[in-house]
């Protein structure tokens, strides 16, 4: 029994596209594009959706949602005027435990969480409500550790591979993240929403050009520079994780469904599937690690 990742998605997680798409033509466009992405997802016939949400922060290690049926009411902490989401999700608690063990075997601090009323983050709820509205596909969600570096985040993705192979499941990985994440810090009329700066827009479009060619690992390699230039969402950790899940290569077919501003941030909806075209042989500059040995003592003599 050996499972595999059969595809991946990059999706935005701001609540506007779920709760108020009619207030801005760009938000409505993104909402409509989720319908196209959902068709592509359903055609893959996965056994599981595995999400990494940049909007679920953790401090001590990596948390994995293991409540089989989390349900509650969500009001976004920043945009509460948009209203309430009453959600009921379907999680694969058995897979969550396998993922926890796989992460621990690679030296990571990881734990499952499962209790009534646990505050599922906005990004997870938005992604699952729009990609999987009827809970046809069970899901699993892992948190974004605020202090994890690239190496630790890649190991978390490799642990996901271990868990997928061990369970024999066909899995689609979903990175819930913005690209540029500079947002308006004052209230604007929804009709006036746009990417926060031309520089952010230019960088977003550079990444999307690469992603349209399936060059996910190239985007992963550019994450640090992108973050310095365009305030990447949580340093684009979700992209590091996604690339590790999909094998850290450019051997993918990419489709950019949509790209729009959401409250100044760069919201992109992208699909990635394995391809016969090989992008190996390209030169990667970043290091690659398999096990977590703790924080590197960079100040030691």
Task: Tell me if residue 187 falls in helix, strand or coil.
Answer: coil
273-285 pLDDT tens trace: 998 766 554 545 5
pLDDT digits (tens, 9 = 90+) for 213-252: 999 999 999 999 999 999 999 999 999 999 999 999 999 9
Q: Specify the pTM.
A: 0.93
Mean pLDDT of 19-25: 97
Q: How far is CA 83 from the centre of its chain?
A: 24
Q: In DSSP terms, which residues pair with 64 in a beta bridge?
A: 112, 142
Q: Is the pLDDT reported for residue 299 higher than 60?
A: no
Strand arrangement of the beta sheet that strand 110-113 belongs to: 110-113, 62-65, 139-145, 48-58, 170-176, 4-11, 265-274, 252-262
Q: Helices 223-230 and 198-212 sit at what angle, rounded to 10 degrees?
A: 160
Task: Determine the pLDDT at residue 288.
Answer: 77
Q: Cα Rg for the chain, rounded, in angstroms?
A: 18
pLDDT digits (tens, 9 = 90+) for 102-111: 999 999 999 9
Query: CA separation (Å) from 136 to 90, 91, 92?
Result: 8, 11, 12
Q: 147 and 62 in contact (C-beta within 8 Å)?
A: no
pLDDT at site 148? 96
With H, G, I as helix, E, B as strand and everything else as coil, classify residue 188: coil
pLDDT per position as a tens digit, 258-275: 999 999 999 999 999 998
User: Element (H or E) spanning 4, and its range?
Assistant: strand 4-11
């Amino acid at each position: 029994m050996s499972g595999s990742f059969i595809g991946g998605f990059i999706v935005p997680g701001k609540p506007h596209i779920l709760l108020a798409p009619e207030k801005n033509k760009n938000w409505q466009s993104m909402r409509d594009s989720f319908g196209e992405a959902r068709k592509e997802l359903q055609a893959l016939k996965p056994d599981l959706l595995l999400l990494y949400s940049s909007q679920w922060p953790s401090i001590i290690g990596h948390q994995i949602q293991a409540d089989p049926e989390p349900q509650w009411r969500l009001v976004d902490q920043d945009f509460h005027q948009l209203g309430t989401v009453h959600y009921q999700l379907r999680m694969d608690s058995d897979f969550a435990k396998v993922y926890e063990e796989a992460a621990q075997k690679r030296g990571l601090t990881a734990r499952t969480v499962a209790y009534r009323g646990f505050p599922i983050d906005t990004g997870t709820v938005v992604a699952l409500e729009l990609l999987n509205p009827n809970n046809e596909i069970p899901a699993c969600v892992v948190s974004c550790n605020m202090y994890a570096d690239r190496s630790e985040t890649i190991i978390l993705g490799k642990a996901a591979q271990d868990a997928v192979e061990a369970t024999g499941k066909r899995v689609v990985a979903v990175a819930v993240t913005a690209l540029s994440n500079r947002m308006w810090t004052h209230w604007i009329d929804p009709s006036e929403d746009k990417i926060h700066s031309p520089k952010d827009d230019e960088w977003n479009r550079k990444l999307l050009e690469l992603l349209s060619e399936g060059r996910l690992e190239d985007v992963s390699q550019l994450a640090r520079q992108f973050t310095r230039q365009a305030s990447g969402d949580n340093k684009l950790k979700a992209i590091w994780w996604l690339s590790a899940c999909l094998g850290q290569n450019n051997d993918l077919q990419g489709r950019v469904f949509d790209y729009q501003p959401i409250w100044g941030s760069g919201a992109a909806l992208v699909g990635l599937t394995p391809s016969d075209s090989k992008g190996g042989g390209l030169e990667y500059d970043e290091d690659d690690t398999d096990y977590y040995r703790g924080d590197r003592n960079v100040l030691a003599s």
